[in-house]
Amino acid sequence: MSRREDIDVRTITETEIPAWIRALNTGFLRSPAVSDEEITNRGSSILLERTLGAFDTDHPHSRLRSTGGTPIVATFRSFPQQLTPVGGTPVPADAITNVSVNPTHRRRGLLTRMMATDLTAAKDRGDVVATLIAAEYPIYGRYGFGQATTATEWTIDVSRSGLDPRWSGPTDGARIDLVDGEEVRELGPDLHERLRRTQPGAVSRDERWWQINTGVLSLSGDPWKEPFYAVYRSATGEVEGLVSYESDDNWGDAKQPLNTAEVNWLITVTPAAERALWRYLCSIDWIAHVKTGWRAPDDLLPHFLPDPRAARITIQADWLWVRILDVVRALEARTYAGSGTLVLDVTDGDGLSAGRYRLEAGPDGATCAPTTTAADLTLDVGELAALWLGDESAVRLTALGRVHEEREGAAVVADALLRTSRRPWCPDIF
Ligand SMILES: CC(=O)SCCNC(=O)CCNC(=O)[C@H](O)C(C)(C)COP(=O)(O)OP(=O)(O)OC[C@H]1O[C@@H](n2cnc3c(N)ncnc32)[C@H](O)[C@@H]1OP(=O)(O)O
């Protein structure tokens, strides 16, 4: 087994991209083979100065070595992103992805080393938070990340929904039209910008997102199967919603269509568009079930249905994890429902954000500064992330023993300031 000092954690060079992708594929249990298309398409998103590899300098001679230099046994990459907090003023985020350690080198601290390198750089750069979507729940809490949003998927049994099957589109002058990928690339970015600037938990998307999700760019080289796209326009012609969905081909024993429409993504900026697009999906002939994709847990959807029980939860899990790197800027970036003062003693195993902070919040904004006055609450930086985006309750975390009240009743005060009427939602995976 190679010793710690034999494994070099550093940024990769351009010529090392193929070996890095091979290591990534191995860690993610995909075929390790790397195609030229994958090198070009995946490689074009790689920022070399933010892409780490772990190089085993003690690796015995192998064919891997002959493909170029020292074998890469772990991968890690980050890129710039914006995250919308409560109140809608996005903050710069360090988005982390492509984290993998080969099974031959696991549990030797490689992720810990790569994470420390990346988070230190992000803090130095001035990022307010780091973000990621976790493969498994237990991995990232130790690095100061907290579960900041939850995702829910419903499966709608259309026949039990109580919806009138004769529906044939909006009757208020709005309309729904099928469009192709090119039109999605034209209409989608503006619509998404409108959504994500007001949606706590939403993150920025670049042009690549739209290219990948309309088949212009393939990361894996797998053949593209074009989905259906439908756009909702209000009576005044405003684009207010867009959905991408596909269908399986399922004919039951009695030769009756029992297809499932699977939503890849659905974004809207008005409740009318949201209602109409779900209504549309539930009205398509042959469609017996609709799988909704990852929605906010308090999505309006079930209650659009006359019988909400027709929407059964099929997935409920943590989604966006947030690591606060700058407590002052994070707390000042969001808005607050009420007025009040809260002193938070924030612990942080990595020392990046530890300290005692006094938050003074009001309807016109908030100020936050380090303080020496007595704390109201003591909590880890990961719990702060969950409270910051509005999804968690300080009272609940106190009951769980994860937040400690230094002053009786402080958790209720914190909830009154920090909680929001709607839960945050991150529509993206990255
Ligand atoms: C944002 C994303 O990209 S999510 C994708 C994450 N990648 C994967 O899930 C691919 C498969 N798994 C892996 O590649 C690796 O096992 C990783 C990346 C999860 C962990 O890498 P490692 O180098 O083994 O982690 P490292 O040795 O630094 O572990 C640090 C600590 O976390 C713990 N840990 C690491 N992974 C896990 C896990 N999956 N479940 C529970 N604990 C874990 C370790 O036991 C260790 O604990 P300790 O400090 O108490 O001893």
Q: Which part of the chain is CATH 3.30.1050.10?
A: 327-418
Residues 161-170: contacts with CB under 8 Å, at least 24 apart: 161/282, 161/305, 161/306, 161/307, 161/310, 161/311, 162/305, 162/306, 162/307, 162/310, 163/279, 163/282, 163/283, 163/305, 163/306, 165/283, 167/279, 167/283, 168/283, 169/280, 170/232, 170/276
Q: CA-to-CA distance for 341 and 5, rounded, in angstroms?
A: 48
Confidence of residue 63 (pLDDT cuts 50, 70, 90): low
Which residues does 303 contact at the CB level (< 8 Å), separation at least 6? none
Residue 200: pLDDT over 70: yes
* DSSP secondary structure letters along 361-406: EETTEEEEEE--SPPSEEEEHHHHHHHHTT-S-HHHHHHTTSEEES
DSSP, residue by residue, 247-271:
E---B-TTS-B-EEEEEEEEEESSH
Q: Is the CB of 97 under 6 A from ligand 1?
A: yes
Q: What is the DSSP-derived secondary structure letter of residue 203? A: B
Q: Is 416 helix (H, G, I), strand (E, B) or coil?
A: helix
CATH 3.40.630.30 domain locations along the chain: 4-127, 152-314
Report strand pairing: 228-233 vs 175-179: antiparallel
* Average pLDDT estimate for 104-116: 97
* Res. 83: pLDDT tops 60: yes
What per-residue confidence (pLDDT) applies to 65?
Answer: 57
Of all protein residues, the one whose alpha carbon is nearest to atom 43 of ligand 1 is 139
Q: What is the pLDDT of residues 275-291, one digit of tens each?
A: 999 999 999 999 999 99
**CA 140 to ligand 1: nearest atom:** 32
Mutate to test the pocket of ligand 1, among 30, 50, 101, 137 (most ligand atoms within 8 A of CB): 101
Determine the Cα–Cα distance for residues 231 and 397; give it in Å rounded to an integer. Answer: 41
CA distance 97 to 76: 7
Return d(Cα 378, Cα 246) in angstroms, integer: 47
- What kind of fold does domain 327-418 have according to CATH? Nonspecific Lipid-transfer Protein; Chain A (3.30.1050)
Q: From the candidates 140, 145, 232, 280, which is the catalytic residue? A: 140
**Residue 41 neighbours by CB distance under 10 Å:** 19
Is residue 140 flagged as an active site residue?
Answer: yes
Nearest-CA residue for ligand 1 atom 33 is 139
Position 67 confidence tier, pLDDT thresholds 50, 70, 90? low
The CB of 400 under 6 Å from ligand 1? The reply is no
Q: What average pLDDT does the structure give for the chain? A: 95
* Annotated binding-site ranges: 99-101, 107-112
Element (H, E) at 35: none
Domain 152-314 class in CATH:
alpha beta
Asked if residue 132 has its Cβ within 6 Å of ligand 1, the reply is: yes
pLDDT given for residue 3 in this prediction = 77
What dotted CATH number matches 4-127? 3.40.630.30
- Closest ligand 1 atom, residue 134 Cα: 4
pTM of the model: 0.96
